[in-house]
Structure 1
Amino acid sequence: MPPPLVPDPATAPSTGVSNWNIANALTVLRILLVPFFGWLLLTHGGHDTAYRWGALGVFFVASVTDRIDGDLARSRGLVTDFGKIVDPIADKALMGMALVGLSLIHEVPWWITVLILIREFGVTVLRLWVLRHGVLPASRGGKAKTALQALGIGLFVMPLGGIVHVAAWCVLLVALVITVVTGVDYVFRALRLRARPVR
């Protein structure tokens, strides 16, 4: 079940606290888990059931930290510029490793991986492009896309076939459609934001 939608951390004001806090520590932990997850997923060509379940466990923990670090930062006044920069990097590193890994073991076609990664990194470039004019926050569709991507990837990582594999495809294809639609929406919103005076 996808997690409930939460506010975009990029729009939260920085609180001036030290970067050495629990929220940022969880974000850094998520980055450190990425290569470990990739190793578990790719070991023995992705055909080792025990390693695949291990990869799923690491992916779940990393995904949970994505929710917890943002909640902690906002509820405890721990929002920092470091966190706002590194959090989306951690998210993209995890999703990117998962998609590339699943394509390498022939679970997800490369064209899906390439399309999603182009959209993800393209949005990052757009956010930097409009930074002097304002923040380009995540849309509700974008957050739903992220939740569906995580759910679809988790189902693909499971070393199971049958109904689980069918469900994985259904979820990922819906996520792919939302990925493309919200990507186009980001482009138009970025153009409108660029038309505003520099802050």
Structure 2
Amino acid sequence: MSGQPQPGPVVPRVRVTNLANVLTLLRLVLVPVFLLALFAGNGHETPSRIIAFVVFAVAVITDRLDGALARNYGMVTEFGTMADPIADKTLIGAALIGLSMLGDLHWWVTGVILAREVGITVLRFVMLRHGVIPASRGGKLKTLVQAVAIGLFVLPVSGLWLKAAWVMMAAAIVLTLVTGLDYVVSAVKDSRGRPAAD
């Protein structure tokens, strides 16, 4: 009948339990495994540090894979958009705290990075009223540089390799602060440009 509303287009539903989200959850599961390897023995034994590096590297690789799967195979979900950066921050945070506890990394470095990460995570939840703001390219580069820097610190390196680790960590700190400021600016603009959701 002409008086009845016409059905709208069917929007395909994406399962929350898709492969991309499973990889994100796997990254969270690998965090305690990484910490166990990192603190094995006295925390500075070469075999355990290499194992910790391998676990950390696998976790980082899952980050690249879940993003690619979500984008290329239509597996993007609101859960994944929120859970992915949280998994990243959990992994990075655990690694930084662990390295600082072992005396391999200054606590101020860990404090600066974690303060930014926690602050932005809280801001993400606040901004849910206006819609999810996905991670920017700068944020993804920041996460990658952080991962490389931390990976070098996890490995039992010295000499030039240790200097390279500090150079990468310095770059990670700069990117952490710059991208954090950029996210805050974007969030403020977004909140002013759109009304809050009911």
Instruction: Give the TM-score of the pair, scaled to structure 1.
Output: 0.87
- The answer for the alignment partner of 2:129 in structure 1 is 132
- The answer for the alignment partner of 1:150 in structure 2 is 147
What is the rounded CA distance, in whole Å, between the counterparts of 1:190 and 1:80 in structure 2?
20
Deviation above 4 Å: which 4+ runs of structure 1?
none
**How far is the alpha carbon of 1:39 from its aligned partner?**
0.8
Gaps of 5+ in 2: 1-10
| Structure possessing the higher relative contact order (Cα contacts under 8 Å, 6 or more residues apart) | 1
Q: Which of 50, 63, 71 is the matching residue for 1:74?
A: 71
Q: Does 1:176 align with 2:173?
A: yes
Q: Does 1:21 align with 2:27?
A: no
Percent of aligned pairs with the same amino acid: 52
**How far is the alpha carbon of 1:82 from its aligned partner?**
2.5
What is the rounded CA distance, in whole Å, between the counterparts of 1:86 and 1:185 in structure 2?
21
Structure 1 residues 181 and 15, CA, compared in 2 at 3 Å: closer, same or farther?
farther
1:103-129 superposed Cα distances (whole Å, 9 cap, x missing partner): 011111111101101101111111222
Structure 1 residues 172 and 15, CA, compared in 2 at 3 Å: closer, same or farther?
farther
RMSD over aligned Cα, in angstroms? 1.6
Q: Does 1:42 align with 2:39?
A: yes
What is the rounded CA distance, in whole Å, between the counterparts of 1:58 and 1:17 in structure 2?
30
**How many correspondences in the alignment?**
186
Gaps of 5+ in 1: 1-13
- The answer for the alignment partner of 1:94 in structure 2 is 91
Structure 1 SS opposite 2:129: coil
- The answer for the alignment partner of 1:10 in structure 2 is none
1:165-191 superposed Cα distances (whole Å, 9 cap, x missing partner): 000000000110121122122222222
Structure 1 residues 19 and 133, CA, compared in 2 at 3 Å: closer, same or farther?
closer
Structure 1 residues 115 and 27, CA, compared in 2 at 3 Å: closer, same or farther?
same
Structure 1 residues 182 and 81, CA, compared in 2 at 3 Å: closer, same or farther?
closer
- The answer for the alignment partner of 2:5 in structure 1 is none
Q: Does 1:165 align with 2:155?
A: no
* More displaced 10-residue stretch of structure 1: 136-145 or 146-155: 136-145
Q: Which amino acid aligns with 2:196?
A: V
Q: Which of 48, 57, 60 is the matching residue for 1:63?
A: 60
**How far is the alpha carbon of 1:76 from its aligned partner?**
1.6
Structure 1 residues 186 and 126, CA, compared in 2 at 3 Å: closer, same or farther?
same
What is the rounded CA distance, in whole Å, between the counterparts of 1:140 and 1:83 in structure 2?
17
What is the rounded CA distance, in whole Å, between the counterparts of 2:134 and 2:81 in structure 1?
12
Structure 1 residues 41 and 32, CA, compared in 2 at 3 Å: closer, same or farther?
same
- The answer for the alignment partner of 1:31 in structure 2 is 28
> If you compute each CA radius of gyration, which structure gives the higher value, 1 or 2?
2
Do the aligned partners of 2:16 and 2:79 also contact (CA within 8 Å) in 1? yes
**How far is the alpha carbon of 1:89 from its aligned partner?**
1.8
- The answer for the alignment partner of 1:198 in structure 2 is 196
Do the aligned partners of 1:134 and 1:193 also contact (CA within 8 Å) in 2? no
Q: Which amino acid aligns with 2:170?
A: L
